[in-house]
Homo-oligomer: A and B are copies of this chain.
Amino acid sequence: MTSPLRRRASSRDIRSESRLSVLHAVLRAKEASRAEIAQVSGLSLATVTTVVSEFMAEGLFAEGTRIVGRVGRPTLTVRLNPSRGYFVGVDMAETSLRVDVYDTALMPVGGHEIPWDDEAPSAIIDGIETLASTVLGEAGIDRTEVLGLGVCLPGLVQGTSTTSIVPAWDWHTRDLGMLRDRLGFPLVIENPLKAVATAELWFGRGADSSSFITVNLGTGVGAGIIVDHTMLRGATNSAGEWGHSLLMLDGRGCRCGRHGCVEAYIGAPGIWRTLREIDPSHALAPVDNQFDFMVGLAAAEPDAQDATVEETIARTGYYLGSALADLVAVINPEAIVLTGWTSWLLGERMLPVTHDTLQQQAPGRSADDLVLALSTVRGTAVTRGVALTALEHFLSTVGLLTTRTAIAL
């Protein structure tokens, strides 16, 4: 080729997009006619009919029972076929291990959570295998019925299947290969922030907003960014590491090695540090378990006139609002959804000052119509989100989707 043209990567696979839209519509509605699917997906009825047939041929969809239309020929609906198989979601968090099993309609059929404090890959692999076997056994599911398993690991999940590395725990491709071999299921690896945002996209805010940000507040903090119904992954799958963007240049040391990160102020240990800065002699200052500390902070009644607690919550809300204003400045989403255990414990208390700070600090009128709310997707959002990613991967193995970014082994 003699011209200076260069390859423009085909950014999206159109058939894959159509199938994803149909699946999304049916998962959300649980049952829908082809006309209804066409209406919400924006696809033509002909395309919907084709895609539905493809999903039926794979056993993913089944004929529904609801009849649509009061006049003329009744129209049948379609629904997910829950007995097609199961997807396992694993949330290997910093202090706990949770395994949930979902049917093809992404409804939970069993799950367990245990405390965890061992960082060795071999111990983690043992732990996941044991807990998954227990959960599957209790649910009466045979291993052959499992179509895929998704594991969330803390830290950056970077690169492709051959270069996967989780720096926080020093996992390498070899470890991930061992995990796959021991479990014996098709495996996807995901970052928990992206899993939560996936769950929010399919079962929460995604119904109302094409672009939103899921902000996770816990030990660590971070964001899952959805732009135009699609996860923003970035060049190395690490988009959304907002917890390690600056709140304060050269400020508090962060465990990532940088100084002044958002996480150093609104991660649970950062909030604890704020309280100790305000009053080192406060009753909560010596509580050395971050979860116990946060429960104690949340339990202090607003009318108890504990000025240190009120000031800690107010400052944290101000830090959060300022940091969210930065997300609005750069991304300008339709909505920001708060999730994670700090959100459940302190969210309602922080929201007023966070909202006001965000409105004051966001550029121009960019936050006038912004929705700032706690997520309605509670409990097992991480395992549900990563089970969805495992479902997407399964669909790619049967030729129905093109997935390019999740790490699949």
Contact = CB atoms under 8 A, between A and B. Distances in A.
Interface of A: 1-12, 14, 21, 24-25, 28-29, 31-33, 36-37, 39-42, 68, 155-156, 158, 165, 167, 207-208, 210-211, 223, 225, 227-230, 232-242, 244-249, 251, 256, 258, 319, 322-323, 325-327, 329-334, 360-361, 363-366, 368-370
Q: Please list the 9 inter-chain residue pairs (A to B) with the smallest Cβ-Cβ separation, ordered nearest first.
A: A234-B332, A10-B42, A245-B326, A239-B332, A5-B40, A156-B364, A241-B329, A238-B366, A241-B363
Contacts of A4: 28-29
- The copy count of this chain in the complex is 2
A22 to B, nearest CB: 10
A334 B327 CA distance: 19
A234 B3 contact: no
A318 to B, nearest CB: 9
Nearest to A212: B235
Given A365-B158, A365-B167, A11 B229 contact: yes
A5 B237 CA distance: 31
A234 B332 CA distance: 5
A156 B365 contact: yes
A189 to B, nearest CB: 15
Given A326-B246, A369-B236, A167 B364 contact: yes
A32 B2 CA distance: 9
Contacts of A323: 246
A375 to B, nearest CB: 18
Nearest to A37: B5
A226 B270 CA distance: 33
Q: Which of A28, A251, A329 has the most CB of B within 10 A?
A: A329
A335 to B, nearest CB: 8
Contacts of A332: 233-241
A184 to B, nearest CB: 30
